[in-house]
Amino acid sequence: MADISRTTGPATAGPDIVSAVTGRDKALPIHVHSLVKTYGEFYALDNVSIDIQSGEFMTLLGPSGSGKTTLLMVLAGFVRPDSGSVKFGDDEILLLPPHNRDIGMVFQNYALFPHMTVAENLAYPLKLRSIGKAEIGERVGRALDLVQMKELGDRNINALSGGQRQRVALARAVIFEPRILLMDEPLSALDKNLREQMQFEVRALHDRLGITTVYVTHDQREALTMSDRIAVINEGCIQQVDPPQRLYERPETFFVASFIGETYRLPVEVRNGSASLFGQPIKIEAVPTSNRPDQILILRPEMLHIAEGLPSENENQISGTLRQNVFQGDSFVSYINIHGNHEIAVRSQHRSNTSLPEPGSEVRLSWLVQDTVILAEEDKV
Amino acid sequence: MSALDPATGGLPENAQALERQARAEHRKLMALSLPALILVGSLVLVPIGWLFWMSIYGSDGFTVENYARLVHPSYKTTLITTFELAFLVTGLCILMGYPVAYMASQLGPRMSSLILLCVLFPFWTSLLVRTYAWLVLLQRRGLINTWLMDLGLIDAPLKLVHNFTGTTIGMVHIMLPFFVLPLYASMKTVDFDLMKAASNLGASPVKAFWQIYVPLTLPGLGAGMILVFVLSLGFYVTPALLGGGRVMMWAMQIERSMAVYADWGAASALGVVLLVITLGILWVFGRLTGAFAATEGK
């Protein structure tokens, strides 16, 4: 198992390294305003606006084809949008060519130059900035230190493992002290264990450098683990921008609710600001934003529990027939039929004394009023 | 831990049998390449050996006469002309072929096949026909001179053929496909994200092209250059027709030694010299590009 503690804390890199490689004082906010990019009839970016704070780790999360990579490429300067504005701090950068934008970027396939060694790859952006040979050597050494690759400077790129390439790509993207760091699904090529380790490393590097970071992924777990805030994108539109926990607990659109986490849906009827589930009233915290009568109740397996007794003041309850219990190691998942053809799942922590009701028995499910999320289906809004 | 088997004298289980099997497999695979080895041996190595033998063994036994004769100034001029032409043709092929290959590698599949078709098209016509076609175009009262004079751009016809210029034009035309095709193949393998990365790191388009793109296409560039250069060194038909006897190539010198003087020894010596020089150049070239090829282990 990879030793995560060794690579996550700022303790490994001394303060001198931090101040030397850091772009902290140069971290800039990003203001994207009314960005539109079309390919024929297709809107890759449909009037996208987002403000990313200085030093923030912002993740663009969405399914493939949602426009998240297009947005990143617009920031990097590789895609020319139809209209809109992108500002780094107060400077409009949309008209700058990519090589004048001073952005670090980690590509999906790393894009390391195969005809150069690791050290030459790292030195390349410094050479382009006419930095002296001695200083280049020093900074390359420090950058190699930063990503724990001190001994591998002379290696050829092709002699590196996936994780090592990943580290070199990271180091190359920050060695010239860019004001902004962009990452395009940088971990997607790694296997699961390494990916999880690198998530910590990338986040730790961000914290050490304090650099404004825009990270693109389609992996919701990665997004939830790493980000300060997540922008969920679908069909060229930003659906919601929020910190991970809020995004998970309070999805604002039907798409966000179904894209993040495991969700089950039950139809609810909303009238005059109160909701009822199969004719039975349920307690809600806030009045649903939409005033359509037919809406959807979003339930997550881990928010539910199989209840004994009547609901307490702050709970909602529904009854159903337990169909099956599935053992998943850390938990049991019970599938429950509700009102004939609706199915929802309940997750119960695995403890050795867990006893679940037998399949076929009638059970009552409870969830907190504050976890009650009711949304209208988008296409009908 | 290996399981030691007392029955085989303490060797790990099946070790000997497995190694025998590996050796037998190796022998079988070697046997498969035997026909090719015989073919290469009988059709390449033996004739070359024979050629060499004829150049040093005449009717009066061993002799260096055939080589001693090569110090004569006329041979030197021929050698210089041959290399001059080969370098010039290679250089022009790079200048004209690199953009074509680049365009073909960047455009969509339909346009790129069209370009490659245009590059390949002359390939399917006879060399002789193409050379005579150039003669028609370039001669004194040929298409090009007539047009230029009709347009009033020139007063007297340009000397485009029966000289070095004509030979160069004809040879570049014939050699271009040999240059473009390997280069195109090499360009197709370049990951364009590398150019984006270079640009992102601060390289202007010009710098990204020279520092990233060109080094990455060196294997194809080198292959194309070697093909064109080596083929040009031994070229006969086009210089003979378009040079009009004024461009004396090494291959023509060889032909003259045999056809005119029936001197096989002299012809062989000329052939050996050309072979040695060519190999020498290839070796130097290999050393120069080898450094890049080694890093291109993808």
What is the tens place of the pLDDT at every residue in B10-39?
Answer: 678 888 999 999 999 999 999 999 999 999
| pLDDT tens column, A54-78 | 999 999 999 988 999 999 999 999 9
Give the pLDDT of residue A25: 56
Q: Are B227 and B293 within one domain?
A: yes
Whether chain A has a CB inside 8 Å of the CB on B65: the answer is no
B205/A99 Cβ within 8 A: yes
Residue B292 in this model has a pLDDT that exceeds 60:
no
> How close, in Å, is residue B94 to chain A by CA atoms?
21
B132 and B249 share one domain: yes
- Residue B74 forms part of a structural domain: yes
Chain A interface test: which of B189, B191, B201, B211 (most A C-beta within 10 Å):
B201
- Residue B82 shares a structural domain with residue B184: yes
Would the CA dihedral through B115, B121, B127, B132 be positive or negative? Answer: negative
Instruction: Mark whether B28 and B99 lie in a shared domain.
Output: no
Task: With H, G, I as helix, E, B as strand and everything else as coil, classify residue A21.
Answer: helix
d(CA A163, CA A198): 8
The domain defined by A262-379 folds into: OB fold (Dihydrolipoamide Acetyltransferase, E2P) (2.40.50)
What local confidence, expressed as pLDDT, does residue A223 receive? 93
Q: Which residues lie closer than 8 Å to B218 by C-beta, 6 or more apart?
A: A115, B186, B289, B292, B293, B296
Split into its structural domains, chain B has a count of 2
* B122 and B221 housed in the same domain: yes
pLDDT of residue B255: 87
User: Is B52 in the same domain as B71?
Assistant: no
User: Which residue, A201, A193, A196, is CA-closest to A169?
Assistant: A201
Residues of chain A with C-beta less than 8 angstroms from the C-beta of B295: 114-116, 156-158
Instruction: State whether B292 and A115 contact (CB < 8 Å).
Output: yes
- Long-range pairs for B218-221 at CB < 8 Å and ≥24 separation? B218/A115, B218/B186, B218/B289, B218/B292, B218/B293, B218/B296, B219/B186, B219/B289, B219/B292, B219/B293, B219/B296, B220/B101, B220/B182, B220/B183, B220/B184, B220/B185, B220/B186, B220/B187, B221/B94, B221/B98, B221/B183, B221/B186
Q: Which chain B residue has its CA at the smallest distance from A73's CA? A: B196
Closest alpha carbon to B86 in B166, B167, B163, B160: B167
| A239/B155: higher pLDDT | A239
The model carries a pTM of 0.78
Q: Is A2 left (phi over 0), alpha (psi -120 to 50) or beta?
A: beta
Q: Does domain A15-254 have CATH number 3.40.50.300?
A: yes
Please state the ipTM of this predicted complex.
0.78
Do B88 and B35 share a structural domain?
A: no
Looking at chain A, the domain(s) classified CATH 3.40.50.300 span 15-254
Q: Give the mean pLDDT of A123-144.
A: 92
CA dihedral A152, A158, A164, A168 (to 10 degrees): 80
Instruction: Give the structural domain span for B70.
Output: 66-297
Q: Which of A147, A140, A150, A181 is nearest to A166 (CA)?
A: A147
